[in-house]
Amino acid sequence: MSMRIALASDHAGYRYKTLLAVYLASAGHEVVDFGTSSEKPVDYPDFIRPAAEAVARGECERGIVLGGSGNGEAIAANRVRGVRCAVCWNEDIARLARAHNDANMISLGQRLFSEPQAVAIVAAFLATSFDGGRHVRRIEKLDR
């Protein structure tokens, strides 16, 4: 299923953002790139927040944000109501973030894994659907 995906990074995640943009486009997804556009140092909220807002408004079905560790980016994204952004460091975490937490965004740390692992994490995130069931009431409690 083709999706519209928000993509954003700071300088420390720029290289993987570029790699993932190519991967996502080749997989048939529409990529909306919120920046940054180089490895020149920037402040991650300036790029992550607009991507998260696009996901929250429904303009993008999913979002992927990147930094050195991914932690600051996830915190920034999760400040936007309606966003559930999980820091992911392997495929299992990405699948669980979707299946159990209905994550609509993930955050990746470029310093934590290889390029092929980054692609595999994103592929797992995009291929997994929300399990629903008992998890729905938990998501509803988050949204209150």
Per-residue pLDDT reduced to its tens digit, 67-120? 999 999 999 999 999 999 999 999 999 999 999 999 999 999 999 999 999 999
Of the residues 39, 61, 91, 100, which is catalytic? 100
How many domains, the chain?
A: 1
Please report how the helices 91-101 and 134-143 are oriented relative to each other, as an axis angle in degrees rounded to 10. Answer: 80
pLDDT score for 62: 98
Half-sphere exposure of 67 (CA within 13 A, CB side): 21
Q: Is 73 a catalytic site residue?
A: yes
Q: Hey, which residues does 109 pair with through a beta bridge?
A: 67
CATH number, domain containing residue 130 = 3.40.1400.10
% of the chain residues with pLDDT over 90:
95
Q: Judge whether 5 and 31 are in contact, CB under 8 Å.
A: yes
- 3-state DSSP assignment of residue 98: helix
The residue with tokens 């990746």 is 108
Q: Measured between alpha carbons, how far is residue 24 from residues 28, 50, 73, 93, 115 in Å?
A: 7, 19, 20, 20, 14
Q: Is 100 a catalytic site residue?
A: yes
Range of the domain at 73: 4-143
Of the residues 73, 91, 135, 140, which is catalytic? 73
* Cis ω for the linkage preceding 18 (within 30 of 0): no
pLDDT score for 68: 98
End-to-end CA distance of the chain: 30
Residue 8 pLDDT exceeds 90: yes
To the nearest whole number, what is the mean pLDDT of the chain? 97
Contacts of residue 1, defined as CB under 8 A and 6 or more positions apart, other chains included, come to: none
Cα angle 31-33-28, degrees, rounded to a multiple of 5: 10
